[in-house]
Amino acid sequence: MRKPLIAGNWKMFKTTAEAKDFAAEFKKIYVSSDIQVAVCAPFTQLEALKEAFQDTDIQVGAQNLHFAEEGAFTGEISAAMLKEIGVDCCIIGHSERRQLFGETDEMVNKKLHQAFASGIRPILCVGESLEQRDGGQAFDLVRSQMKAGMQGLHADQAAALIVAYEPVWAIGTGRTAEPEQADEMCGFIRQVVEDLYGEEAADKVLILYGGSVKPSNASELLNMGDIDGALVGGASLVPEDFIQIVNF
């Protein structure tokens, strides 16, 4: 049985003081359950969140890492730096990184390998634009992102991977894929993993949906058969909203 995961992606929001306030409020209303919970925050907040959540099972994740172990990469963060402070997981290949900062499938692949090598569980983001969806290219695009991103991974790494399907047209727009649309693509992603790595890996890989997930639509989305959780943006910034999604 796959253990569902609700991961918050704070993007470029909150100061460290605000992150500490969030953690204090969220711990008051959070009860450990069969649902995994992670908060993926800006680099400056990660150590404070690890300390704040140390007496809970709440995971702390980064939003990016560099694929090199070290080097002359001004402004970048290595996997070793994240691992040193106990980071559990890391978002890799988010559409905003791809679109705004030029990340390619090749870079995403290198980052996945570096995360696994460092003991950090990667969350691989894939998803199509509205033009690609309307043009009938969504499935081909997502298959291509999956195959390129996972190139060279072992079957056990594929099984441990978290994949987040985020249709670009539903990120921060208020638009959400219909539950059937989201489940169809998540099922397709699982089939891609099976085609590449076999049924056992496909049965274990966690596939999340992301894209304007909020308390009002979380239950319908998260009760679909191939959706194992959610990557939550804006709603993860407010403890009362995030806990409603966690308790879907």
Tell whether 35 is covered by a domain.
no
More confident residue, 108 or 168: 108
State yes or no: 172 annotated in a binding site: yes
State yes or no: 78 annotated in a binding site: no
Query: Which band of pLDDT confidence, cut at 50, 70 and 90, is reported for residue 123?
Result: very high
Confidence check: pLDDT of 169 > 90: no
State yes or no: 111 annotated in a binding site: no
pTM of the full structure: 0.96
Tell whether 71 is covered by a domain.
no
Q: What is the CATH number of the domain that holds 225?
A: 3.20.20.70
State yes or no: 10 annotated in a binding site: yes
Per-residue pLDDT at 170: 78
Task: State mean pLDDT over 153-171.
Answer: 94
> Strands 162-165 and 59-62: what pairing?
unpaired
Tell whether 5 is covered by a domain.
no
Tens-digit pLDDT profile for residues 47-58: 999 999 999 999
**116: Cα within 13 Å, side-chain hemisphere:** 21
Per-residue pLDDT at 79: 98
Neighbouring C-beta atoms of residue 113, cutoff 10 Å? 18
Task: State mean pLDDT over 196-206.
Answer: 97
Query: Which band of pLDDT confidence, cut at 50, 70 and 90, is reported for residue 1?
Result: confident
State yes or no: 71 annotated in a binding site: no
List the structure tokens of 65.
Answer: 């890492």
Tens-digit pLDDT profile for residues 58-69: 999 999 999 999
Overall number of domains in the chain: 1
Query: Which band of pLDDT confidence, cut at 50, 70 and 90, is reported for residue 171?
Result: confident
Tell whether 248 is covered by a domain.
no
Query: Which band of pLDDT confidence, cut at 50, 70 and 90, is reported for residue 175?
Result: confident
Task: State mean pLDDT over 6-15.
Answer: 98
Q: Does residue 37 sit in helix, strand or coil? A: strand
Q: What is the DSSP string of 177-243?
A: --HHHHHHHHHHHHHHHHHHH-HHHHHH-EEEEESS--HHHHHHHHTSTT--EEEESGGGGSHHHHH
Tell whether 96 is covered by a domain.
yes
Task: State mean pLDDT over 173-198.
Answer: 92
Tell whether 223 is covered by a domain.
yes
Range of the domain at 198: 40-49+58-65+76-240
Query: Which band of pLDDT confidence, cut at 50, 70 and 90, is reported for residue 177?
Result: confident
State yes or no: 212 annotated in a binding site: yes
Tell whether 221 is covered by a domain.
yes
Residues annotated as catalytic are 94, 166
> Strands 229-232 and 162-165: what pairing?
unpaired
